[in-house]
Every structure is written in C-alpha cells, then in structure tokens.
Amino acid sequence: MTTVDANLSRYHALFETVRSRRRALETLKGADQFVAWGALKLRQRRSRLVVLLEWATQVDSMAPEVRSLPETALDREIEELRGAFVRGRVNHGQVLRAMAVVREVASRATGEEAYVVQLAGALALVHGRIAEMVTGEGKTLTGSLAAPLLAWRHRHLHVFTTNDYLAERDEESRSRIYKRCGLTSGAIVQEQSPVERAGIYARSIVHGTPKQITADYLRDQIRMGRIDSAWAGWQRLGSEGPLVPGLQACLVDEADAVLIDEGVTPLIIARSRHEDELAPAYERAREIAGELEQDRHYLVDTLRKKVKLTAAGRAHLGAMVTDENWATARRAEELVRQALIAEHCYIRGRQYEIVDGRVVIVDEYTGRFLPDRSWEHGLHQSVEAKEELEVTADRETLARLSFQKFFRSYRFLCGMTGTAADSAGEMERVYGRPVTVIPTNKPVIRTQEPTRYFRGAEAKWSAIVERIRQEHDTGRPLLIGTRSVEASQLLSERLEVLGLKHSVLNAHHHEEEANLIARAGEPGAITVATNMAGRGTDIKLTPDSRRLGGLMVILTELHGARRVDRQFIGRAGRQGDPGGAAIFASLDDELVTRFVPRLGAWVAQRANYDELTGSRVATKVFALAQARSEGRDRRGRTQVMRQDDWVDRYMPG
Amino acid sequence: MSERPTFSPHWHRVAATKPRLRPHVQMTRQRYRGRRWHVAHDPASNKFYRLSPVSHEIVGLLDGVRTVEDAWKIVVEKHGDEAPTQPEVIQLVSNLYNSNLLSIEASPETEQLLRRQKDRLVKKVQGQALGIMYFRMKLFNPDGIISAVEPVLRPLIGRVGLAIWAAFILFTLSRLAGHTEALAGGFKDAIAPSNWGWLIAVYVLAKALHELGHGVICKRFGGQVPEFGTLLLVLVPSPYVDASACWGFASRWQRIAVGAGGMIFELFFAAIMAHVWLTTSPGMLMHQVAYNAMLTAGLSTVLFNANPLMRFDGYYILSDMLEIPNMMQRSFQHLQYLIQRYVYRLDDVTPPTTDRSEQVTLTIYGIGAMIYRVVLFVTISLYVMGKMFAIGLILAVWTAAAWFIMPVGKLVKWLSSGPKIAEHRGRVIATTLGLVALGAVLIGVIPMPDTRRGVGVVESELRSGVFIGETGFVRESLAYPGDAVEAGQAIVVLESPQLASQLAMARAQLAEFESIEREATATSPSAVGVARERVAAAKSAVAFLEKRAERLVVRAPHAGTFIGRDPHELIGQLASIGQVLGEVVDTDNVRIAAAMTQLEAAWLFDVGEKPRVAMRPVSRPGVVVKGDEIRAIDAGQAYLPHASLGFAGGGTIRTKQDDSSGLQAETAQFIVYVEPIANEDWHGVPGERVHLRFRLSAKPLAVQWVDRLHKLIQGRVQL
C-alpha cells in the first residue's frame, strides 16, 4: 500500500468513527414510541416470512443455471455483482442473483448446500431483520450467505458471536467463501496485540465478540477525546488512526445473547488508581463486617444484592469506627455494607473464581471468565478482602459504553439466533429490528421430557446421578449442564465417587474446549459443562451415538431466562438428529432462593414428597421465579438505556 | 432516607473537565430560614439556579484550571459527610451546564447544543399547549418606558414612599366609609352590559399601571425587565412583565417589594379614582368612569393578584415572606413524598426539605393549592360552558388533560416501571387500587345529600290595603311597619274635632227629641208618632256619626303583618279619607315563588323525588325556614314573579333589555312555588328575597354529577 492509500484509509477510518459516534440514537418515549412502532410494523410487511420464502424459492430456482457456470464465469459474475453492491446501485433482482451466486460459492468452497429456509434466513438478514432459526439449523451457513452481500455494500462488516472460540471457528470455516467473493476476513480474539488488531479491522469481514470489538471501539473513543470532526482527529492523532474504522454494518449471531443479555452491564474501560491507599480500609471494613450479626445489625436483600443496616447496626458501626482516618461516617457505612454484600451476595464458584491469586469474574450467561473485568467502586476490593487476597487498587473508569448504544451506532444491524421470539418486543423497541421466525428445514425429533422438580438439592442431585448412570449404561453420549462452576465441580465429585468417567468443561478448562466438544458426541461420553457449552456449540454425533438415540442433554438447574434453557437443550437434536433432553430443578436452586424465597420455602415446607414433578404449584413457583428474573434483567437494561440517554443529553462533553 | 452512594458510574464524564462559571453570571447571597444560599443568575437568558453553600464552594473552586475531580476532593477533605457525593456533583455540574451558567473548555458538541435548543422549544410549545388557561404572548421590551419612569419615582421607592402610600390608602378608605350605600348601589350600573366598554378601557389602564409598578420597583433595585407581554387568562387578556430578575436580589424585602409593586400602584390608582368619584356628582361621566376604575383596580387586585394559591403576585410575596423559594413546586413534591412515604410506605424516598416547620407549611400550602385548582377548574369550566358551550368544553377537556390525565398517566407509568418501587410493586399497585376502589365507592356507591339551590321571592295570597277610614288628624300611631297585627287591631288613631262636634250636636238633638217624646207620651198621645219618628231619625244620625268616629281608629282588616309607611311620621297631620296607609299582609299564608330555567328545575319532574326545602331569608341570615308543597308552573312563562329576581332588579336572571318593568326574562322560566312552614322567628314579607335549598333524596355523587352534566349538555344540544 502506498502512503497515500494508507493515509486515505486512515482518514476514512477517522471520518467513519466520528460519524458512528454521532449516530447514537435516542430512546423514544410516549407517543413517539408508538408512532415508531407503527412505522416499523408497516415497513416490515414488505419482507414478511411469506415474501422471504417466495424470494428464497426464486433464488433456489436459479440454482441449476448458477451451478453450471464454470469457475471463471462465476468469478466474473461475482466481480460484477460486487461492483454493483459497492456502488450501492442494486435492485431486488440483483440481490436475489447475488444470493444465488454466493450460495453456489459456499457450496463449491465448503460443500454445504443451503436449503431454501436458510436462503430465506439470509435474505431476512440482508433486509436488516433478526432471523430466528431453530438451534442447529445451520445458522453459520445462513450468516455466511448474507455476509458477503453486506460486506460489499457496507465496506466493513462485523460478525458478532458470543465467544472467541466460536469467532475463530466461524471465521476459519467461512474464510474460503469470503475470499472467493473478493473479501478479506479475520477474527479478533483476546490475545491479539493492537498492531495485529489494526490489521484485522482493516479487513472487510471481522468476526469477534462484542466485548472485544466494543472495547476497541471505546478505546478509540478515549483516544479521540472530544474531537467532532475527522480533520480535528487527523490533527490530534497524527499517524495513529482509530483501530475500528467506524461502525458500519454488523451481523449478530446469537442476537439475543449479544443484544439482550449483554445489555445488562455496560462495558467499562478503567485504569488502576495510582494514589489509592484504601487497601487497609477494605480489610478493616471486612473485620468490622465480621462482627455484625445478620438480621440484628443488617438485612440482606439477595435479590437486589443489597444490604441495609438497621439502627442497631448503625449504632454498632458508629461505636467501632472511631480512629479510622479513612472514613467519614457515611463512607465507613458504605464500605462495611459493601463488605457485607461481598460476603452474602457473591459466592465463589458462582459469580467469581480465584485464578492465580486473583478474583476473576465469571460471566453469568456464558459461564466464561472475564479476566479483564472487575466490579466497580470497591466491590471488587471487598471481594478480594473477603477471600483474603491482596487487595488491588480500585480502578478508575475512563470510559463507559453500553452495548445497546454501541449496537445502535451501527448504520446497519441484523442478527440471527435460535431464541429471539421471547425478546422480540425488546429487539423492536431498542434496536428497531423486527424478528422473523424462519421455519425449520427438518423437523426436530428431540424428545423433551417434562421438567422434574424436587424439594431439596440432595434429592435432585441423587436423581440426576441416577439418571446419568441409566443413560450411560445405554452408551448414549451425555451433556450435563450446570449453572455455575461450583455446581459443575460438585457434580464431578459425585460422578467420581461412582466411578463414572467424565470430562468437565467450565471456565477453568477453556483451553480444552474445542477438544472436549469434539469428543462429547462419542458413545459413552459424559460431559459436565457450564453455560460455556450453551451457545453455538455444535456437538457432532458419531454414527454409533446417533443409533443409540443421539445426544442426551440433562440440565441440572433452571436458568434465569427461559431462552438460556432452550439454548442449552438445543445442543441435542440438531439438524434432524435424534436427541433427548431432561431438566431437573429443586426449590433449593439459586433461581428460587433469590427470586421467590418465601414462596419457595413455603412450598418446600408443605410438600409431602421429595419429588414434586407434575405438581402445579411447583411448576408455578419456577415459572414465577423465571419471570421475575427476566423482568429484573429487563429493568436493568432499561435502566442502562435511560442512563445513556440522560448522559448523552445532559452531561457536558 | 435514601442512601447517598459516594461514587457514580458516570463520574468519568465530568471528572477531568475544567469548567468555570461563565463570566457574566452574577452570584448573590440570600438567606432562607436562617440558612445561606447562593443564587446564580444569568442576566442574558434570565435563568436562575440556587446553590447550597457547599455547592457554591465547589462552583467557586471551578475556575477553568482545576478539574471537577480536584474541586470535589478539596470539598470532601474539608466537609466530610457534608460534601456532595459524586452523583450530586454530576447533577450540579450538568444542571449548571444545561442552564448555560457553566462553560467547559472544549466547545460542546454541536449536536448536543442543537438538541438542547430543540428540547427547550418543544418544552415551551408543550407548556403553552397544555396551559391554554394561561397562554403567554410576548409583546415588546418595556425597558425604555420603565427607565424613563423609574428616575422620577425613585425618591418615593422606599420606606417613606410606603408610609405615604399607606396613609393615603387609609385616608381614602376612611372617606369611602361614609358612602357604603352609594358604593354598593353603583355596582349594578357598573356591571350592566352598557358599561362594559368603559370597564375594559379602565381595566387595561389599571393593569398597565400594575405592570409598570412591578417594572419600576424591579428596576429601582437593579433588576432588568426585558419582557412585556399579555397573558390570556382563561381567554381574558391581561398584561404581564417579566420581573424575574428580582429573584436574584439579596434582600428578601426587595423581592417582596417587586412582587407587591403591581398591587401598590394599582391600589394607588384606585384610591385616586375614589377621590375623583367622591368629588364628582352622580350623572357625570367622570363619576361613572372613576367608579369603574375603583372597582376594577381595587377588586381585581384583592381577588386575583393577592391570591397566593395561583402563581400571581400574592404567591411570590408569600413565598418570600415564608422564605420558601419555589413553594408551589416544592409543596407538590412534598405531598408526593408524604404519599410515597406514608401511603405507599416506601422508605427510600427523600423529602424536599428536612425543616419541620417548612414541611408543615408546604403540606398546608400544597393541599390548599390543590383544592383551589380543582375548584377553580370546575367553576371556570362550568361557567364558560354555560356561556359558550363548545369553547368551555374544549377548555375543560384540555385543562383536564393537563392537570389530571397527565398526572394519572405519570402515576400509571410510575406504578408500572418506576425503578424506586421495583421491589414493592405488588404492594404499591394494590394500595393504589385500594385507594381507587375507596374513591369509587365514595363517589359511586355511598349516597350523598343532593342539594339544589335557587332564589325566590315571598308572595302572599291574602293582602289588604289599610286606608284611612275617616278624615282627621292623626293622633296616635300604634304599629310600626313589619309588626304583626291581629284582626281589628288598631294601627292609627285619628281625631276629628268636626266629627266630634257633629256627634255632640246629634247626641244633644237626640236627647232633646227623646224628652219631647216622653212628654208627648204623657200629654198628647196624638203627637207620639211624630216624636218617635224624630227620635228614630236622630238615633240613626248618631249611629252614623258614631260609626264614622269609630273609623277614626284604623284597624287591621285581618291578621297579618303591617307594611307600608311608618304612620308615626303622620302624627299631627291631616289624613283624608281613602288615603293609603299601608298594607296588612297575611304572613301565615305566604308562599315563595322562585323562577328557574327548565334545566335548573328539571329535577322537579323526576319521579319519586320528594325534595325537602330549606330557606334562608336574605333579611335574616341566621334563620332557616322549612318548606313543603312544591309546585311548579308550566314552562314558557317568560314573566318573573317579582322584579327583584331579574337582572334589572339586582337578581341573577337575565331580563329583556327593552322591558322597563324588569319582569320579562330572556329565557323561558319555570315558576316554582313553595309553602313555608310557620316559623316563630320569621314572617315572610312579600317582596323579600329568600335563598332556597332543595334537598333531594340522597344518591351517590357520581349519579348526581352525571345527572347535572347530562342536563347541561341536553339543554345545549336542544339549542
């Protein structure tokens, strides 16, 4: 590349970054919201499912002709279409034609021939929709049909998925298609250096996780500061352009996980405070907290992760905090409260793990470690004090960006997922993207057993282990889902005692992930996994295991959202394979104790048997707990959006 | 009390910025309830912002060199728990920034600036649209006029001026005190439609003076008055000036003076006009005009401007007197807090103030203002609907939307998604529904007394004139007007010397004839016949004269009340036969006649309705008389039972303007008769006005309201 070209592309990147920043939308309120909703409904009529399927059939009918094209002719055709797309002058016919061509390219490159429903899905993506396709329907292929068209049209396309492993895997398997379409591609993963990243971001199609790309974008924003024109940026940054060349188009795989679940916590970039000498304060606060009695001195609200001091507690605290120079009365109370929250609401193996003497947060939805993250405003330090680790310096926020705002800054957004219908309303409201449910190609023949409810954890685990043994005896491969690292380890111990050979996939073992998944479909395999295996994981069955009834998924706990359960179960019975799923839940589960503690305890007390399966009351309790949990998360996301709006509107800068 | 978290997740947005107050912002120190406050005033945009001393300290530290973070740390170091927390500092900085009081080194993003502008415009338009009951229109900048007038009046603005003013007002009042009757009497002429033109002219003049008063005093103490305009108050235009600059004055007496300035000037004007009125004689144009001016300036000031329950002068004066700035808004906030705290039992709420006495004041004021608003809304809506139905209806619906539907919508939103009640949503919603249900039961189920009102006039079925029966000099008067008299009771005694001598002569003649007759009986029987005839003739003459003499005592023809001129005035005068002395009215058999329009009287025809009537005579306010036997006479009767019910006679019913009798109503009337039940304390005197209260059978309020509204609308639709 010549210097001029490099400068040009850097300037362009600056220009696009500034543009993306300005693009942030406002959340509509009141009547505006209604009008926007109506307009959306009206617009989406043009690309309803019926219409999409009709178009897909048309694309399909072009297949024989496209298939017969020799390689050179195909390349010429691609070049022509690409030109049209880049210039932004495409008509509907050309879109369909391009789709047929890319389908053929995919077929020649990977041997995968897209079905009509996959074409419909890809067309939905091209039209900026969220396509719901049943898990295991080959979303990856669908995405790779739409991606070239979008990359042509929008110059840069970001393809999001939930974890680095999937990002790398998808990029690798799709790169041949992209290449043939005249596109470059790459995947952004944790370990890369900024220089490497810059090279990858310059490519047309970039796979990655929202955490990585958002963080890069946010770092760019910090560097750019308050500049509001590309020229000013050019002056200020000189040769160091932004990493992410603007937010232009994105295709979100697992859209509900990325767009909805991640929305609860905004991304924060922080640096350690230099002048922080509060470490002893956290330890002292922890000591004081240890002397307070629950219910007498303080009340714990596990649902909201809050602690409230009673009058007695406050008096006690006042008596103890006398000579500390670090604390005014309010600050002391705050620190002690935080210590109590760390004590009661944060449990090792659930919210965090200790790795190499450091507290590492475990992502609630993906079950993975978040090594770069820490809780804000001293909570992290309180947890460190609780675990008697070295208290690190409190971190100071440099920038903050919610995923909602980030994704809304894209000029073009589309996505696909196995479970979007639950959150269709939110997709429409927040992102203005309608959800289309694409029918399955092959019927799902997974056998879903009714959920089994138990009074206590012990009874549940016995039943689970019993079930594992039964199923294992038939030789069927088993995937057992646990909600936390802690639970996966407990189950592993039990299986160990019984001499059942198994492997464990949790955040501690993420290096072995690909390996474990590859073997999970073999006959006789028992894989105990946290949510890490819950999304996007494709467990390939051997012919033997298919004959034995396919993969059996056992879920040992209900999750906070029904979507997550459905995702996990979706690991079995993919693409028409046989499979089975069973769910076990008990009234001791965190879901119940956190969201409906009193009702749960009452039902447990009144129950006559250990097993409550089929009991209408028990079913209701769990349904209520899940509804509350979902509601809580939804409110959290709304809150984040509101704050965003407020900040954008009223804060200087 | 809610927690005050030290840290804010958004701190980084402000921490490193180096803002400073814009150079033209003026800071004044004010004291409220013994506490120091600082008011930042931007004269360019006329925006104000009140700062606590600690906030003021932070703002003072922000000099454009120091970062917000550093300023905060200094204050925390110094004040500990008293220092604002990060969220509070953010709030402070963003408020100041959004009021354009604070500038931040880098130019703000253009989008944000434009959006702020747009937001302000939208808010303004919304505010105007919702408040059609008070629509503002800016006209011009009055600074020129005010600057011209202010130097002239300057020496008078101060204690001396106030004392002179007060003395003048007192003097005027004392002079007026002797003319109360004339004052009251003029009212009828003043509000007659023919006088409206003058009224309006005088009103405009008085109000212009009023605004000039605000302006001049504001200017005197150094405030700018940048705006003069007109406020459409319930569609009635009234001028205003923007004297908000006075909020920046350090002395609260100066602020009060500006608030009261309008009234001071207007009352002064009224007082001058009072003297003009007193010195001119009735019939002169100036006399009438002066009366009008006195009426509008004096009355409107007292009724309107002094009323603290709406945001007029009285409100601002009171707010400064009590040292509670922003009283209206904060009292509503306080009510909100009380409801959240004590009705919904939320513990995470903060009251707008922690000062006990301030809380009490806010509570009382808030409730008062609320009630006043509702009452004002209902009366104005109904009044305007009565005059111009369509406009009234639009006004009512519109204002209802602004005052009631919006708050209800906000409540619903709060209930469904308010983050503060996330934890107790179920309970809060249940409480709300419970309250709504309670209200519904009170309004919709429990019967409440239903009363209707009217004005009637006493009529008597039996009344007789009292005439002088025989010419004579009035010697004695035995009754006063208004006295109850028995049948045949003497009212006036006359004496007639002529009659007396005639009677004496006749009696002497009779005696003579009788003696002649006795003689004849004894001596000459043939003469007896003649003598007897003569005696008989003489006897009849005596009897005739005696009867006439008896008629010198004027007696009541029947029991009742004597009304008429006071006969004591006639003592010693000659009264000739046939002269009317007065009337005796049968007060035991009076009835009350009231005129009502078809709509007002509609309930009379409701089946099964047996209203009870209570009456209060105008002449005896303390007395309540019961009545029964209500009868109504056909509609279409366009004549009132008495002129005093009509507009011309000082009543409330519009009469035809060309009707000199004042009896012809403009619209068809029902005449409703009520029989009073005898009462010791009061004997209805015909012609007397009586307030009637019909008490219908108790029914739920909702039924009553729907019924009234229905009838109101029905009447309009027929038109």
Domains in chain A, ordered, with CATH? 3-267+403-438 (3.40.50.300), 274-393 (3.90.1440.10), 445-625 (3.40.50.300)
Compute the average pLDDT of residues B178-199: 76
Provide the 10 A C-beta neighbour count for residue B156.
13
Residue A351 pLDDT level (bands cut at 50, 70, 90): confident
pLDDT at B435 over 50: yes
pLDDT at A142 over 80: yes
Using CB atoms, which residue from A334, A398, A650 is nearest to B5? A334
Give the pLDDT confidence score for residue A160 in this predicted structure.
92
Best residue in B12, B111, B119 to probe A by mutation, most A CBs within 10 Å? B12
Provide the 10 A C-beta neighbour count for residue A93.
9
Rounded Cα distance, A354 and A613, in Å: 37
Helix (H, G, I), strand (E, B) or coil at B697: strand
Using CB atoms, which residue from A328, A635, A649 is nearest to B422? A635
Rounded Cα distance, A508 and A492, in Å: 14
Nearest chain B residue (CA) to A639 = B419
pLDDT at A476 over 50: yes
* Contact in structure between B314 and B307 (CB atoms under 8 Å): yes
Report pLDDT digits (tens) over B133-158.
667 788 888 888 888 888 888 888 88
B451 touches chain A (CB under 8 A): no
A421 touches chain B (CB under 8 A): no
Q: Which residues of A touch B64 (CB under 8 A)?
A: none
Shortest distance, CA B98 to any CA of chain A (angstroms): 7
Where are the CATH 2.40.30 domain residues in chain B? 589-718
pLDDT at A381 over 60: yes
Q: Do B417 and A635 touch (CB under 8 A)?
A: yes
Shortest distance, CA A295 to any CA of chain B (angstroms): 18
Give the pLDDT confidence score for residue B719 in this predicted structure.
40
Compute the average pLDDT of residues A418-445: 81
Compute the average pLDDT of residues A387-405: 82
Q: Which residues of B touch A268 (CB under 8 A)?
A: 9
Exposure pattern of B667-698 as b/e (b: 16+ CB <10 Å)? eebbbbbbbbeeeeebbbbbebbbbbbbebee
* Closest residue by Cα to residue B459 from B611, B643, B605, B597: B643
Instruction: Please enumerate in sequence order all residues whose Cβ is within 8 A of that of B172, keeping only pairs 6 or more positions apart, or say none.
Output: B271, B274, B275
Residue B650 pLDDT level (bands cut at 50, 70, 90): low
Kindly report the backbone phi and psi dihedral angles of residue B462, in degrees, each rounded to the nearest multiple of 5, phi listed first: -125, 115
Q: Do A653 and B94 touch (CB under 8 A)?
A: no
B419 touches chain A (CB under 8 A): yes
A331 touches chain B (CB under 8 A): yes
Q: What is the mean pLDDT of chain B?
A: 81
Shortest distance, CA B131 to any CA of chain A (angstroms): 19
Residues 187-226 in A contacting B (C-alpha not used; CB under 8 Å): 226
Rounded Cα distance, A323 and A462, in Å: 53
Task: Give B684 or A416, the one with higher predicted confidence.
Answer: A416
Rounded Cα distance, A464 and B346, in Å: 44
B464 touches chain A (CB under 8 A): no
Using CB atoms, which residue from A226, A334, A399 is nearest to B6? A334
Report pLDDT digits (tens) over A26-57.
667 767 778 878 887 787 776 688 888 999 99
Report pLDDT digits (tens) over B609-642.
677 788 887 777 777 777 776 777 765 656 677 7
Q: Do A331 and B6 touch (CB under 8 A)?
A: yes
CA-CA distances (angstroms) from residue A511 to A190, A208, A213, A350, A368?
A: 13, 18, 21, 20, 11
Report pLDDT digits (tens) over A579-620.
888 889 888 888 888 888 888 888 888 877 777 777 788 888
What does the CA dihedral B605, B609, B612, B614 come to, rounded to 10 degrees? Answer: -40
Give the β-pairing of A185-187 and A205-208. parallel
Report pLDDT digits (tens) over A287-323.
888 878 778 888 888 777 888 888 888 887 777 776 5
Copy the structure tokens of residue B306: 């002094």
Best residue in A28, A317, A377 to probe B by mutation, most B CBs within 10 Å? A377
* Contact in structure between A592 and A620 (CB atoms under 8 Å): no
Listed ranges A205-209, B30-34, B668-672; the one with the highest mean pLDDT: A205-209
- For chain A, percent of residues with pLDDT exceeding 90: 12
A628 touches chain B (CB under 8 A): no
Using CB atoms, which residue from B94, B115, B423 is nearest to A652? B94
**pTM over cut 0.80:** no
Locate the DSSP E strands across B173-318.
228-233, 236-241
Task: Give B605 or A11, the one with higher predicted confidence.
Answer: A11
Q: Which residues of A touch B423 (CB under 8 A)?
A: 301, 303-304
Provide the 10 A C-beta neighbour count for residue B320.
26
Q: Do B81 and A399 touch (CB under 8 A)?
A: no
Exposure pattern of A150-177 as b/e (b: 16+ CB <10 Å)? bbbbbbbbbbbbbbbbbbbbbbeebbbb
CA-CA distances (angstroms) from residue A380 to A328, A392, A629, B627?
A: 21, 8, 24, 83
Give the pLDDT confidence score for residue A322 in this predicted structure.
64
Report pLDDT digits (tens) over B320-371.
888 888 888 889 889 988 988 888 888 778 888 888 888 999 999 999 988 9
Where are the CATH 3.90.930.60 domain residues in chain B? 11-108
Compute the average pLDDT of residues A181-190: 90
Residue A208 pLDDT level (bands cut at 50, 70, 90): very high
Give the pLDDT confidence score for residue B21 in this predicted structure.
86
Q: How would CATH label the architecture of B589-718?
A: Beta Barrel (2.40)
Provide the 10 A C-beta neighbour count for residue B557.
18
Q: Which residues of A touch B90 (CB under 8 A)?
A: 651
Give the pLDDT confidence score for residue B718 in this predicted structure.
44
- For chain A, percent of residues with pLDDT exceeding 70: 95
Residue A258 pLDDT level (bands cut at 50, 70, 90): confident
Give the pLDDT confidence score for residue B221 in this predicted structure.
87
Task: Give B607 or B99, the one with higher predicted confidence.
Answer: B99
Q: Do A397 and B12 touch (CB under 8 A)?
A: yes
What does the CA dihedral B281, B285, B291, B297 come to, rounded to 10 degrees? Answer: -150
Give the β-pairing of B19-21 and B102-104. antiparallel
* Closest residue by Cα to residue B17 from B119, B123, B148, B108: B108
**CA A320 from centroid of its chain's CA atoms:** 44
Kindly report the backbone phi and psi dihedral angles of residue A561, in degrees, each rounded to the nearest multiple of 5, phi listed first: -130, 140
Helix (H, G, I), strand (E, B) or coil at B693: strand
Shortest distance, CA B5 to any CA of chain A (angstroms): 7
Report pLDDT digits (tens) over B479-525.
888 777 888 888 888 888 888 898 899 999 889 888 888 888 888 87
pLDDT at B716 over 60: no
A653 touches chain B (CB under 8 A): yes
Q: What DSSP state is assigned to residue A498?
A: T
Exposed (0-12), middle (13-18) or buried (19+): which is A223, by Cβ within 10 Å?
middle
B181 touches chain A (CB under 8 A): no
Instruction: Please enumerate in sequence order all residues whose Cβ is within 8 A of that of B150, keeping only pairs 6 or more positions apart, or say none.
Output: B216, B219, B220
Give the pLDDT confidence score for residue B437 in this predicted structure.
93
Q: Which residues of A touch B417 (CB under 8 A)?
A: 635, 638
- Whole-number CA gyration radius for chain A: 26
Compute the average pLDDT of residues B464-471: 82
A138-152, A201-215, A318-332, B438-452: the lowest-pLDDT one: A318-332
Provide the 10 A C-beta neighbour count for residue B660.
9
Q: Do B10 and A22 touch (CB under 8 A)?
A: no
Nearest chain B residue (CA) to A24 = B111
Give the pLDDT confidence score for residue A122 in this predicted structure.
92
Rounded Cα distance, B242 and A604, in Å: 69
Rounded Cα distance, B717 and B711, in Å: 10
Q: Do B4 and A652 touch (CB under 8 A)?
A: no
Q: Which residues of A touch B418 (CB under 8 A)?
A: none
B225: amino acid identity, one letter = V
Helix (H, G, I), strand (E, B) or coil at A430: helix
Instruction: Please report the number of interchain residue pairs, chain A to chain B, with beta-carbon separation below 8 angstroms.
Output: 78
Residue B672 pLDDT level (bands cut at 50, 70, 90): confident
Q: Do B115 and A649 touch (CB under 8 A)?
A: yes
Best residue in A275, A304, A310, A330 to probe B by mutation, most B CBs within 10 Å? A330
* Contact in structure between A233 and A227 (CB atoms under 8 Å): yes
Shortest distance, CA A651 to any CA of chain B (angstroms): 5
B402: amino acid identity, one letter = A
Class of domain B11-108: alpha beta
